[in-house]
Amino acid sequence: MRTETKCIEAGYTPKNGESRMIPIIQSTTFKYDTSEDMGKLFDLEASGYFYTRLQNPTNDFVAAKIAALEGGTAAMMTSSGQAASFFSVFNLANAGDHVVASASIYGGTFNLFNVTMKKMGIDFTFVDPDCSDEELEAAFKPNTKVVFGETIANPALVVFDIERFAKAAHAHGVPLIIDNTFATPINCRPIEWGADIVIHSTTKYMDGHDATVGGVIVDSGKFDWMAHADKFPGLCTPDESYHGITYAERFGKEGAYITKATAQLMRDLGSIPSPMNCYLLNLGLESLAVRMERHCRNAEKVAEFLKDHPKVAYVTYPGLPGDKYYERAKKYMPNGTCGVISFGVKGGRAKAEEFMKGLKLAIIATHVADAHTCVLHPASSTHRQLSDEELVACGVMPDMIRLSVGIENVQDIIEDVAGALEKI
């Protein structure tokens, strides 16, 4: 199946007389005839369900669809993108370990790594994604366990050189995790470029309708844990908390990572989405390919319009010819990038605030990447406590506006933006 077909068909194939849509198994518990039957599940000798804190069939249909879309061998749904980021790293790196991460990542991920996971004893080195080979080499330490980057960084719109970072990670015997939220598997499949694990905030384009918060972790099944057994004792030595199972031996390259994340992390931390939310997410996935195409075509036209406007200071959009990341985006995302654009209004913070007041169609929201066009001026909302100098220091320009282009008629979006620019 090709990608567009997988959006509709992958993950669930009804048998004769069964429901066409994935069933919503809204149940915490599953019944067994004998204790022996259930015992086999606990020993991971048989596959099946026993308690929805660890696994649920509805969720697994959706996980299988996303695994197929990304070209992975196994996947796990999580209750949020944040939970996916946390689990994906914590499944490999524990207290005393070290992680190399791109400095251009989602703010929530940066905070998770730099504050919360540091408190857990995990050390992070953040590297400029465009750093020199020497700088990248110097970031690795003997206790480095994983490398982390974002295909198109939210909100900086920096395109990550996946192939380069995959090579560097593999040369050091560790896997590369990619947050592919903004590109989606419609526009980029990081596993094809060497990534080992792919995560998403499904809250964004995958759901696409402002309906559910969620996340997913996909394993490529390619990383050879046993070849680096000294680095990954959690996968390559017996798990005493789980009946002495050695995940990499029992489940191989294809299944070890996700089985450990389910049996250990989901069991202990319980960040599982509700089956109902996964059902709603699946509806979004069915139209993902069609929507992404429209998001990209609309955003390209809006970016072109803004580029030539006399009241606009600059436009950042990797799908716009001349953008710093245009060429790299063409390599990794030949069919389009995403719907998110950032631009500056001439006249700084005050003029940007005026622009926001003039919009009629675009809604003001902290959210991005869904069907509705929405817009945010960080300097007057999320970052309003900061002075202009402080804003610049943390990489947010006072005049910067983030526009998430929806799938409405593009002429309506352009007229809305044009009207608001007119008024300032």
Ligand X SMILES: *Cc1c(COP(=O)(O)O)cnc(C)c1O
Query: Among residues 255 and 284, whose Cβ is nearest to ligand X?
Result: 284
Query: Among residues 184 and 262, whose Cβ is nearest to ligand X?
Result: 184
**Distance of closest approach, residue 368 Cβ to ligand X, in angstroms:** 7
What values do phi and psi take at 148, rounded to 5?
-130, 135
* Nearest residue to 56 via CA among 268, 206, 262: 262
Query: Among residues 81 and 318, whose Cβ is nearest to ligand X?
Result: 81
Residue at shortest CB range from ligand X = 81
What's the gap between Cα 126 and its chain centre? 18
3-class secondary-structure state, position 9: helix
What is the chain's alpha carbon radius of gyration, rounded to the nearest angstrom?
A: 22
What's the gap between Cα 168 and its chain centre? 21
- Angstrom distance (rounded) from CA 282 to CA 392: 40
**C-beta neighbour count of 237 within 10 angstroms:** 15
Query: Among residues 57 and 215, whose Cβ is nearest to ligand X?
Result: 215
**Distance of closest approach, residue 262 Cβ to ligand X, in angstroms:** 19
**Distance of closest approach, residue 214 Cβ to ligand X, in angstroms:** 6
| Residue where the block lists tokens 């991460």 | 101
3-class secondary-structure state, position 228: helix
354 and 367 Cβ atoms separated by less than 8 Å: no
Query: Among residues 41 and 197, whose Cβ is nearest to ligand X?
Result: 197
Query: Among residues 85 and 264, whose Cβ is nearest to ligand X?
Result: 85
Which burial class, exposed, middle or buried, applies to 18 when counting CB atoms under 10 A from its CB (0-12, 13-18, 19+)? exposed
3-class secondary-structure state, position 400: strand
Query: Among residues 52 and 79, whose Cβ is nearest to ligand X?
Result: 79
**Distance of closest approach, residue 198 Cβ to ligand X, in angstroms:** 12
368 and 295 Cβ atoms separated by less than 8 Å: no
Binding residues vs ligand X (CB under 6 A): 80-82, 85, 106, 108-109, 150, 154, 179, 181-182, 201, 203-204, 213, 215
